[in-house]
Structures are given as structure tokens and as C-alpha cells.
Amino acid sequence: MRGRMARNAFALGSAGLIVLALAGCNQSAPEEEASQANLKIVEKVQIDENGAEVKAAEGASPADPAGDGKATCPPVSIAMAGALNGPDAALGINIKNGVQLAIDKHNAANPGCQVQLKPFDTEGDPQKATAIAPQIVDDQYTIGLVGPAFSGETKATGGVFDQAGLVATTASATNVTLSENGWKTFFRGLANDGVQGPAVANYLKNTLSNKKVCVVDDSTDYGLGLAQAVRDTLGPVADSACNISVKKGDKDFSAAVTQVKGAAPDSVFYSGYYAEAAPFVQQLKDGGFEGTFVSADGTKDPEFVKQAGESSKGALLSCPCGPATGAFADEYTKKFNQAPGTYSTEGYDLGTILLKGIDSGAITRPALLDFVRNYDGQGVARKYQWTPTGELTTTLIWMYEVQ
């Protein structure tokens, strides 16, 4: 209820801002709208932990969830857990759609093995996820999970899935400590913030030659962990005069804007999600900030551009997520009438890995867990192979730009 009230308040506030903006500059509104409509997030460069460019790998064909069409299996299901409603829903929906595409392709090709997707909406809230986790593990047909999506909810529920022996593959939770809990069922489908933080920090410091950066976090498990990695790597380049913490759900960033203006940095790195990044960058630009706005995977979604409008232009966004390419991008766009978003590719790849396990005969939780533990194969986004703690054996970061 609290979340719904906050969303309604934000919707009313946004509507009010739009009315005021149109009343104040009615003649230029169509041009502004056209400009905003043309803005999109474009992949810029792939980087290593030193912030240096790495050419994208080419060659290997990604695994196909359709398989050979000869699979047979009893009724089994794959669960997906993440925010499907609420201010960050776009990120969860991207993952769900990726998994759904993989399952639909599989089921169409394999009439003897029909796998069901069971989505669970956590709204990205650790408390809601804690209540939902028992529902997932108590379903005897569910033998694999893509999720939870966010770091906080993953932290709150990882022990439940581990105790149940349910393989839990996350397409998006990047907090470093998640793989340090001793969970045997946790598998991260992308680089963690221990890779992303240093990579983007070194990109700002070494490649873009920034001399002063303000680092702002949203006080969540994700935001704090990533911001700490960025601050540690930036060292003195992270200006202590604008080392700022805000709160998830904030819409008024005037105090932070004042601090940033006083420091006059080359860039501001925001460690959080798009629901707050959008009003923050708007208020920064309105306040006269002329540096570069930089954020990470929690912000890298078309909703950021949609909500921030022209203020998002030129923003740099890091992400351990791979760009959508080839047949996957075409199939996704055709099916959902929109281009793949952040983590859509990872959702598809992780869903495909679970399906390949099912097709191999791994139709129990222990068997599917063992299959994933020993998996080694190419996906759309990257190669997937895991260490004993559930981290990928190879990790790189992409930088994107709003253009």
C-alpha cells in the first residue's frame, strides 16, 4: 500500500510538472517531445576492470532453447521472481519476457515436454520476496528459478532456496556479497558490482580523464555496494565534499543538487535505480549542472529516458548486461512489440540453460542444480560457466550512452 501511494503521488507530481512545463513553454513543447522521442540508449564500448576497451567476442552460436524437438518430460515449471509492478517494474518485466520467449520457443518445438513459467511479483521489495519464497519452494513442480531480480530481495531469500535445493539463477542481482553466503544454489548470470564498480570508475578516471566525481547512492543494498566499489576505485577523484546518500523513493533531490553544484565535478555517478535517477538528473540539469550524468544497470532502461526526457541526453550508463543482438532481438521485438530491455538477454539465456537441463533429463531439483553447476556454453549475451560460488568465470562490462 505504501508503495502504491508513493507511485500515485509521483504520477500526480509528474502530471503537475508536465502541465506547468507546457503552460510555461507551450510553443516549444512539440519540438521537445519529438527530441525526447528520438532519444535511446545505445551501446558505446565494452570495457575491462581497468576501464579499457575490449572488442566484443564473435563467432560462437548461442544455445537454442528449442533444442532438437525430441525432448520428453513430465509436467515441470520454472519460476521467475522480481518486480513486475511498482516503480522498478520494467526491469523485472524485461527478465520475465526473456524467460517467456525461451520457454515459448522450447514448447513450440517440443510437444512431448511442455514447461510452464510461473512468475512471482516481489515489487523488488525484500519483505514481499521473503513472503513469496516459500510459495516457490513449496510448489513440487517448480525445479528451477530465474531470480530474484534485485540484490536486497536475493539477500533476503537466498537461504530459503538453498535449503530447498532449488537452483536460483539471477539475471540482475549484482551485490558482491551474494556469492559469499555459502549458498550452493546461487548462480549469477552477469558480472557483479566488484567488477562493474572498478570498471566504470576506471573508465571515468582513466579513459575520460575525470578529475572530480560526485558519487551518490540510494541507500539500498545494490546502491551502497556499487557506490562503495566506485568510490574505492576512484580514490581522491571521488570528492568527499559530495559523497552523498539519498533514499529509495525520494523525488526531491534539492539538497544533493546544491552539494553537487558547490563541488562542480566533471561527472556525477548515481548508484541506484531509474525511478530516482530520472527526477535526479532532471533536477541536476535544471539546477545548472553541466557535467556528465553517469549511472549503472539499475538505471539502464528505456523508462529512464522516458521519465527524464531531454535531461537524459548524454548520460552514460554502465551495465554487466550484454546488448541484444541477432535473431533473439528480432524474435523478442516481434513477440512483445518492443525491443529487448536491460536484462532481457540474461533472462533469455538463463531460461535457455534451465530448459537445456530439462531436455537432458534433469527433471528434479538435484539433477537440474547439478546440470547448471557443470554448465559451459555460449549464450546471446556471453559465455556461461560458473565458479563454485556461483560467479561467472569471465566478466566484462558494457558502457551505454543516451543519444
Phi and psi torsions of 339, nearest 5°: -70, 155
Number of other residues whose CB lies within 10 A of the CB of residue 125 = 20
Alpha-carbon separation of residue 210 from 165, 203, 316 (angstroms) = 46, 9, 13
Q: What is the mean pLDDT of residues 86-100?
A: 95
- In eight-state DSSP terms, residue 204 is I
Domains and CATH numbers, the chain: 38-54+194-319 (3.40.50.2300), 76-191+322-381 (3.40.50.2300)
Exposure of 261 by Cβ count < 10 A (0-12 exposed, 13-18 middle, 19+ buried)?
A: middle
- pLDDT of 326: 86
Lowest mean pLDDT of 58-72, 95-109, 193-207, 281-295, name the range: 58-72
Over residues 127-142, the pLDDT tens digits come to: 999 999 999 999 999 9
CB 203, CB 51: distance < 8 Å: yes
Task: Provide Rg for the chain, Cα atoms.
Answer: 21
Do strands 41-47 and 397-402 pair parallel, antiparallel, or not at all (unpaired)? Answer: antiparallel
Q: Name residue, grid cell 562490462.
A: 397
Q: What is the mean pLDDT of residues 164-188?
A: 97
Do strands 267-271 and 376-378 pair parallel, antiparallel, or not at all (unpaired)? Answer: unpaired
Instruction: Look up the pTM and report it.
Output: 0.81
Element holding 121 (H helix, E strand): strand 115-121
- pLDDT of 322: 85
Over residues 134-163, the pLDDT tens digits come to: 999 999 999 999 999 999 999 999 999 999
Instruction: Please determine, for residue 392, whether its predicted confidence score (pLDDT) is greater than 60.
Output: yes
Q: Tell me the sheet residues that pair with 216.
A: 244, 270
Over residues 25-39, the pLDDT tens digits come to: 333 343 344 345 689
- pLDDT of 4: 33
- pLDDT of 374: 98
Over residues 282-302, the pLDDT tens digits come to: 999 999 999 999 999 999 988
Instruction: Please determine, for residue 10, whether its predicted confidence score (pLDDT) is greater than 50.
Output: no
Over residues 352-370, the pLDDT tens digits come to: 999 999 999 999 999 999 9
Over residues 310-341, the pLDDT tens digits come to: 999 999 999 999 888 889 999 999 999 999 99
- Looking at the chain, the whole-number percentage of residues with pLDDT higher than 90 is 85
Instruction: Work out the pLDDT band at 59, boundaries 50, 70, 90.
Output: low
Instruction: Please determine, for residue 246, whether its predicted confidence score (pLDDT) is greater than 50.
Output: yes
Q: What is the mean pLDDT of residues 50-60?
A: 81
Exposure of 376 by Cβ count < 10 A (0-12 exposed, 13-18 middle, 19+ buried)?
A: exposed
Cα 399 to Cα 323: distance, rounded to the nearest angstrom: 10
- Whether the link from the prior residue into 148 is cis, omega within 30° of 0, is yes
Instruction: Please determine, for residue 351, whether its predicted confidence score (pLDDT) is greater than 90.
Output: yes
